[in-house]
Amino acid sequence: MYFSTSSLALLASAPLAALAGKPSPGLDTLAKKAGLKYFGAATDSPGQRERAGFESAYPQYDEIMWKSREFGQTTPTNGQKWLFSEPKRGEFNFTEATIVTSLAHKNHKTLRCHALVWHSQLAPWVEETEWTPEELEQVIVDHITGVMGHFKGECYAWDVVNEALNEDGTYRSSVFYDTLGEDFLKIAFRTASKIDPDAKLYYNDYNIESPGVKAEGAQRIVRLLKDEGIRIDGVGLQAHFVAESHPTIDDHISTIKGFTKLGVEVAFTELDVRMQVNATEKGLVLQKEAYKNAVGACVQVCGCVGVTIWDFYDPFSWVPPVFPGQGAALLWFEDFTKHPAYDGVVEALTNNTGKGKGKGKGKKRSVNLLEGY
- Which residues are near ligand 9MR by CB under 6 A? 77-78, 115, 120-121, 162, 238, 270, 318
C-beta atoms surrounding 170 within 10 Å: 13
Q: Where in 54-171 does DSSP place strands (E)? A: 73-74, 110-117, 157-162
Rounded least distance, CB 45 to ligand 9MR, Å: 11
Q: Which residue number, 206 or 259, has a Cβ lying nearer to ligand 9MR?
A: 206
Strand-pair partners of 21:
none
Strand-pair partners of 265:
234
Q: Which residue number, 32 or 246, has a Cβ lying nearer to ligand 9MR?
A: 246
Residue 154 designated active-site: no
Q: Which residue number, 44 or 265, has a Cβ lying nearer to ligand 9MR?
A: 44
32, 38 contact by CB (below 8 A) = yes
Rounded least distance, CB 174 to ligand 9MR, Å: 14
> How many whole angstroms from its chain centre is CA 25?
22
312, 65 contact by CB (below 8 A) = yes
Distances (CA, A) of 234 to 24, 102, 143, 204, 304: 31, 25, 21, 8, 9
Rounded least distance, CB 85 to ligand 9MR, Å: 13
Rounded least distance, CB 158 to ligand 9MR, Å: 13
185, 161 contact by CB (below 8 A) = yes
Q: Which residue number, 239 or 346, has a Cβ lying nearer to ligand 9MR?
A: 239
Q: Which residue is nearest to ligand 9MR (CB)?
A: 318
Q: Which is catalytic among the residues 96, 209, 265, 270? A: 270
247, 293 contact by CB (below 8 A) = yes
* b/e map 304-334, b = 16+ CB within 10 Å: bbbbbbbbbbbbbbbbbeeeeebbbbbbbbe
Q: Which residue number, 30 or 201, has a Cβ lying nearer to ligand 9MR?
A: 201
d(CA 70, CA 40): 8
Q: Which residue number, 41 or 346, has a Cβ lying nearer to ligand 9MR?
A: 41
Rounded least distance, CB 20 to ligand 9MR, Å: 34
Residues ≥6 apart with Cβ < 8 Å to 111: 73, 74, 75, 101, 104, 105, 151, 154, 155, 156
Rounded least distance, CB 143 to ligand 9MR, Å: 16
Catalytic residues: 270
